[in-house]
Amino acid sequence: MGWEGFPLFTMSNSELAAAYSSLQDNFKLTDQDLSKLVSDINLDKISSSLALEWKRLPVYLGLKKPVAEDIECNRELIKESEKRHQFLLDWKAIKGAAATYGCLILALLQIKCRQDAEMCVSCF
């Protein structure tokens, strides 16, 4: 079991590289596209796509503390969709210029959330 009781369905490096390359080819993404900072508007769109998987993302987005757990504890009264959106906003605030589409897409692919990764791509 992984963090917060979720199994960690991670990919091997070769599987991840293949999935990332496939997504790049299928959607004709450039390195410049993937290096763009995720906009707040697109974070809102992306957060509507994420289900419970968002609670596993902190580890894959390079966050040291359990940000999702903090959001869960400190915001018990807000809707689940608002928690997902707040997590992504917190990630962007913490990571700054490193909060790119490429980084988010890679993290989503690592936890085998290709549909959510494709949602990121559709924001271009």
27-49 confidence digits (pLDDT tens): 898 999 999 999 998 888 888 87
Q: Dihedral (C-alpha) 102, 19, 22, 118: value to the nearest 10 degrees?
A: -60
Give CA–CA dist 90/19, Å, rounded: 27
CATH number for the domain including 29?
Answer: 1.10.533.10
Q: Which residue has the tokens 């998987």?
A: 53
**For residue 69, pLDDT beyond 80:** no
pLDDT score for 90: 87
Total structural domains within the chain = 1
pTM: 0.80
Residues spanned by the domain of 71 = 3-121
Give CA–CA dist 86/43, Å, rounded: 9
Give CA–CA dist 62/47, Å, rounded: 18
Could you tell me the pLDDT band of residue 7, with boundaries at 50, 70 and 90?
A: very low
- Are 3 and 66 in contact by the 8 Å Cβ rule? The answer is yes
